[in-house]
Every structure is written in structure tokens, then in C-alpha cells.
Amino acid sequence: MSQLYLIPNAILAFSLFLFTLGCGGGNASVRDILQPATGDVALLASDAPACDVVSFIVTITGASLTPSSGGSPVAVISSTSPVTVDFATLVDFKTVLGFSKVLPDTYSKITLTFADPHLTVLDTTQSPPQPVKIPATMAPLSVTADLNPSLAVAASGASALLVHFNLLQSLQTDASGQLTGAVVPVVQAEVASAFLGSGYGNLEELKGIVQSMSGASTNPAFTGSFAIPRSLTSTEPLTINVTDTTKFDGVAGISGLVAGKTFVEVDAYLDTSDNIVAREVEAEGEESLAASQGAFIGLIASLDRDASGNATQFQMFVREEAPDLTAVVPQGSLLLVKVDGTTQFVITPDGINQANLPFNAASLGPGQSVIVHGQTQAGSPPSVAASAIFLRLQSVAGNLAPSPPPVVGNDGKTGGFYLAPCSSLYKGTPVTVFTFASTDFSGVTGGGLSGLSAGPLWVVKGVTLFEQSPVFVNGVGLNPPATAAEAKDVRELP
């Protein structure tokens, strides 16, 4: 005998509702009903310095958030899309690891899994200083950091997490202070706070060859966008949004960019909707793999000068390059940069050179972070004829020099001090630090120069110039030859 099953009215009504949606009725969809709305989470990364470590490359093979109430972790970096990072380039800088869609919830922990660490130092006892790769081992490979306060993800909302890899504390040393190659990862994480004009934070390490451009946007706040690789070792795009206040240098605007050729540096921030918004776009040149024309990012290790003090060539440690010219210039090697009267000299970003110090062949110096553009030639070492050299923001770590004392202006910020840098590239010569009313003394007692003390390690982020003549800025004098740093930020390392 057959049985008759009665369908409750509520189930019948819901079934008819889903059928109606599937047939195009209403404004929602079956997917909207069955899949709850998610929130956007941006994952950012930064680092603390380790003296004379010029590269620490590691792959993040996974990252997940743990709900405060328990339950299964939620992936924000998957094993199928790992992220490779050189944390030594992120001293006091932020970069984007990625963006994720996350279910609404409150999350109290983040777990990161690492693989394949590579550690390189510069041996300054050789001339020129030579890169030395130290076999690295990392244990544990997975580390969990608490989020306090927790991360609250709202449906259709946006938030950001900052992961701070403390390289200084992670690298192990022996009794004589030499690196052993053992890495015990020390990681902190925090929910990024939003600030007026800078959203969830400044992004000052965005650079690469433009992949694509658009002169329009569906968001009325933006006038267009372009894409660059997430990193110079990745092809995954990052969308950079442009507003009517974005400043372009080197080209008139988006229309002046050439996909596959134009190399740009971008000064940007992450807004509270997790959009990357450009303040300034510096179009530095057009690169060509076929012509061995590229951009090389790294540190000046040593220089040769003529009788007038002008650099005629220098050795640089290559951290990154674009396009991929590693067949000629291996990443992590030395590159001989040739300078002549046609070489162009530029400081980026605009406005960072508050003391209006000149940048030219005479003011190139050891330890500077630069991008060199030019055509390469194979050799030992390989060389490049520099068509342009761009001096970049960088961070210099060290202790407060014992004398002379800091010069403190009436506002407590304008003045300067002398830093004994921990990098041996400076050969024990103090760096003269000029500070300004706009200098940010993050976490410094009193928020100014009077809060500096002799014990801690300090990090100065700004632009550095080698001076061969006396310089006097904001009441602070420089005894040449020495490096001057114009400080954008000053902070104490924990």
C-alpha cells in the first residue's frame, strides 16, 4: 500500500519561494539566501630589523583565523596560494599579503604556517662587501598569535589585520653574537585601527611593472585604477585606485602608463573599505626583458669616487628586480652600477626631502636604499649603465650616540640627534638625524626628541643622503663626510 506524505505549509511555502527565485522572481538569488554575506579582511605585514641581515625570504603557506567561540579556523591564506615575503625589506614598512572574504564572527587568534626560509647577510670585512647565504632552519613552522582586542568581522564590512614578524628576536645567535641560522619565529598581530586620511595604514612598499589600466571606476570615489604584481616575485595583481587628487610624476596620468613596460613606485594607503588608494604614482621608466632593460632594487654596499668626490660606480646588493633578469643578475647578488653625466637622480616620494639637500653622484653613499634603472650586461659581477637612480624611503636602526646630545626645538620635534647605526655598512660613522615638526615620534615618551634615551634601539625612517660638506639644518650640524637622515618617523624597538 502506498503512503501519503504531507508537506508542512512552511516548508512548502519556502520551497515555492526558492523556485520563484530560481525562475527570476524577486531581487535576491538562491545563492544569497543559502550563503550568508561575508566581510572583507585585508592582511598586512611588517618587520623589525636585524643588523646586517639584508634578506630574509620565507613563504607563508597558510594563515587562518580562530573564532573566539571555538569552531573551525577560517583560512585567509590558503596552501594553494602561498605568499613569499622578504621580511628584511619591511623594516617599519607595511605590505599587503592578501585579501579574504570571511564569515561574520569574532576572531581571537591568527595562525601562520611558514616554509623554505632563506637568510642572507653582508660580510663587510671583504671589499666590496659580499653577500653570504646562511643555511636557515625554522622551528616551529607554525605559530599562533593572539588578537587583543579580537577581530570583529561584520557582514559586508571591511577590516584589516597587521602581522608583525620580529626578525630581530627571531634570529638566534651563538655566544659570540654570530647568527646560527636557527629561526624561532616571533610574531605579533593586531587589528589595524583606522585613521583619517590614511585609513588602515600607509603602504610604502608598492612597486612593479604595470599589468593593466582602466580609466573608469564603478566606485564614484575613484577616477580609475591600474594593477601591479602583489610582489616582484608574484603575478597576482593588486589593484591601485586613483582619485582626482592622485599625483602622477613621470607621466600625465593613467593614460601615460604602458602595460607590461612602465615601472612605478606608489605611495598609497588602505582605506576603510579595503581599497588601495594612491596618493602619488612615480612612473620611473619603461623596462624591456628583450633589451635587458630593468629596474633593480637594493642597497649600496660600496662606491668608487673620482677626485671631486662624485661616485663613478658602486656595488649594490640586489633584493628585487623587474622584469625577471635573474639569468643575468641573480637575485641576492652584487650588481656593478655605472654612473655618468647622463644619469638622472630622483628622490621619492615628493616632499620627503624637507631639508632640500641635493641628491647627485656626490651624495650617493653606503647603506642607501635605491632603485637603479638601466641596461644590463653579463659579467662577474654583472653591470648596468644607470639611466636613472631613485633614492627611496628606508629605515636605519641604531642607538642614540653618546654625544653630542639631541637638539630640541621649541615644538619638541624640530631639531635632531646623532644615531650610532648597527649596520656595519656605515663603518661606525654616526648618522646625523634631522627632525621636523611633521616627524612622527611613535611610542616615544612625550612624543618628541626629549623622550630619546641611550639604552634602546631606535629606528629612523626617512631618506638618507651622504654629505661631503658641512650641513646645518634645524640647529643640528653634520661633520662630513657622513650620512644625513631626514626623519619621517622615529620609534623605539620593543
> Would you list the DSSP string of 435-450?
E-TT-EEET-GGGSGG
Flag whether pLDDT at 194 surpasses 70. Answer: yes
Q: Could you tell me the three cell numbers for 441?
A: 615620534
Beta strand ranges found along 68-223 (DSSP E): 74-77, 83-86, 95-102, 105-123, 130-134, 137-138, 142-153, 158-166, 171-173, 179-183, 187-191, 201-209, 212-214
| AA identity, residue 308 | S
The domain spanning residue 310 has which CATH number? 2.40.50.320
Does any domain span residue 111?
Answer: yes
Indicate if the pLDDT at residue 292 is higher than 60.
yes
CA-to-CA distance for 128 and 482, rounded, in angstroms?
19
Whole-angstrom distance, CA of residue 290 vs CA of residue 234:
20
342 — alpha (psi -120 to 50), left (phi > 0) or beta? alpha
Stretch 117-129: mean pLDDT: 94
- E strand map for 167-274: 171-173, 179-183, 187-191, 201-209, 212-214, 224-229, 237-242, 247-249, 262-270
Decide the pairing of beta strands 137-138 and 179-183: parallel
- What average pLDDT does the segment 16-27 reach? 47
- pLDDT number for residue 8: 47
Quick one: pLDDT at residue 35?
61
Give the domain extent around 276: 205-286
- pLDDT for 10 equals 46
Question: In a 10 Å sphere around its CB, with 0-12 CB exposed, 13-18 middle and 19+ buried, how is residue 428 labelled?
Answer: exposed
58 part of a folded domain: yes
Share of residues in the chain with pLDDT > 70 (%): 93
Q: How confident is the model at residue 410 (pLDDT cuts 50, 70, 90)?
A: very high
200 is a domain residue = no
Chain mean pLDDT for the chain? 91
The whole-angstrom separation of Cα 328 and Cα 383 is 9
Supply the pLDDT for residue 5.
Answer: 42
Q: Which pLDDT does position 170 carry in this prediction?
A: 96
Number of H helices, E strands in the chain: 3, 35
Q: What H or E segment, with its residue span, contains residue 16?
A: helix 9-22
Q: Does residue 127 lie within any of the structural domains?
A: yes
Query: 128-132, 231-235, 338-342, 404-408: which range is least confident on average?
Result: 231-235
226 and 276 in contact (C-beta within 8 Å)? Answer: no
Residue 23 lies in a domain: no
Q: Collapsing DSSP states into helix, strand and coil, what is residue 38?
A: coil
Task: Report if residue 459 sits inside a domain.
Answer: yes
Measuring CA to CA, which residue among 393, 403, 416 is closest to residue 477?
Answer: 416
Name the band, by pLDDT with cuts 50, 70 and 90, for residue 30. Answer: very low
Question: At 255, phi and psi to the nearest 5?
Answer: -65, -20
From CA 17, how far away is CA 460, in angstroms rounded?
62
Task: Answer with the one of 158, 191, 224 that is the final residue of a domain.
Answer: 191
Average pLDDT score over residue span 168-190: 94
**CA atoms of 127 and 480, how far apart (whole Å):** 22
DSSP string, 143-156: EEEEEEEEEEEPTT
> Does residue 369 sit in the same domain as residue 479?
no
Among residues 264, 286, 308, the one where a domain terminates is 286
**53 and 181: one domain?**
yes
**Residues 269, 299 share a domain:** no
pLDDT band at 493 (very low <50, low <70, confident <90, very high): confident
The reply to whether 272 and 322 lie within a common domain is: no
Cα gap 177→422, rounded to integer Å = 13
- What is the band of 250 on the pLDDT scale with cuts at 50, 70, 90? very high
Q: 145 and 236: one domain?
A: no
Examine the domain organization and report whether 387 and 410 are in the same domain.
no
For β-strands 53-67 and 74-77, DSSP reports them as antiparallel
What letters, b where the CB count within 10 A reaches 16 and e where it falls short, cover 126-147? eebbbbeebebebeebebebeb
Looking at residue 92, what is its pLDDT? 86
Residues 255 and 210 in one domain: yes
Residue 34, pLDDT score:
55
Cα-based torsion angle of the residue sequence 252, 255, 256, 259 in order, rounded to the nearest 10 degrees: 150
Per-residue confidence (pLDDT) for residue 11, from 0 to 100: 45
43 and 164 housed in the same domain:
yes
**Overall average pLDDT of the 52-75 stretch:** 95
Residue 423, phi then psi, degrees to nearest 5: -75, 130
Q: Is residue 213 located within the same domain as residue 244?
A: yes
Pull the grid cell for residue 22: 530560481
Q: Specify the length of the chain in residues.
A: 494
- Number of structural domains in the chain: 4
CA distance 225 to 213: 6
CA-closest candidate to residue 397, choices 171, 57, 87, 92: 92
Q: Give the residue ranges of DSSP H helices in 349-450.
A: none
User: What percent of the chain is predicted at pLDDT more than 90?
Assistant: 84
Q: Which of 185, 205, 152, 157 is nearest to 44 (CA)?
A: 205
Are residues 236 and 314 both part of a single domain? Answer: no
| 381 and 419 both lie in a single domain | no
The pTM for the full model equals 0.91
User: Residues 455-461: what's their mean pLDDT?
Assistant: 93
Mean pLDDT across 292-321: 97
Contact present, 477 and 420 (Cβ < 8 Å): no
Q: How big is the CA angle at 368 (ends 366 and 371), to the nearest 5 degrees?
A: 125
Over residues 374-392, the mean pLDDT reads 97
Whether the per-residue pLDDT at 70 is higher than 90: the answer is: no
Report if residue 29 sits inside a domain: no
Residue 252 included in any domain: yes
**Residue at which a domain ends, from 286, 314, 331:** 286
Shared domain for 466 and 365, answered yes or no, is no
